[in-house]
Amino acid sequence: MKIPIKSPDHNEILKHLDREGLTKILTDGVLPYDAKGRYLHYDKLRHVPPSKGLTPDEYWLAMKLERQKYRKEFPFLDKKGSPLYFVETDILVKMLHAVDGKVAGTPTQREQPKYRSGKGSL
């Protein structure tokens, strides 16, 4: 398995931004996921054309800041003892709903008998 490229330090990106650049990042409406609804790690996001005239690193920073607004903490820690977070995106909610439906089954599946009476059956 390929180890993903580490994302740039957001503090380093911030150091190189002027007031106009920072304003652009904070006000351009970048979402916590890409245009296709995918929550991408930096290693993949860096290959996606940035939105709204941002550089790839500025796009990453804008997305990271947006993700921080919506993040929820897991009750687990990483190897360094830092908390783990996730962002509940629309696509994640849809996927979880599909899993719920498959695990729970449908009412008609629950009402069907386990066996049939008749010739050759119990």
Q: pLDDT tens digits, residue range 19-75?
A: 988 988 888 888 888 888 888 889 998 888 887 788 888 999 999 999 998 899 989
4-16 pLDDT tens trace: 888 889 899 999 8
pLDDT for the residue 61? 92
Alpha helix segments (H runs only) across the chain: 10-15, 19-27, 42-45, 56-70, 90-104, 107-111
107, 101 in Cβ contact below 8 A?
A: no
The answer to whether the CB of 7 falls within 8 A of the CB of 67 is: no
Of these ranges, 24-28, 31-35, 82-86, 106-110, the one predicted with the greatest mean pLDDT is: 82-86
Prediction pTM value:
0.68
Query: Which residue carries 């008609």 as its tokens?
Result: 108
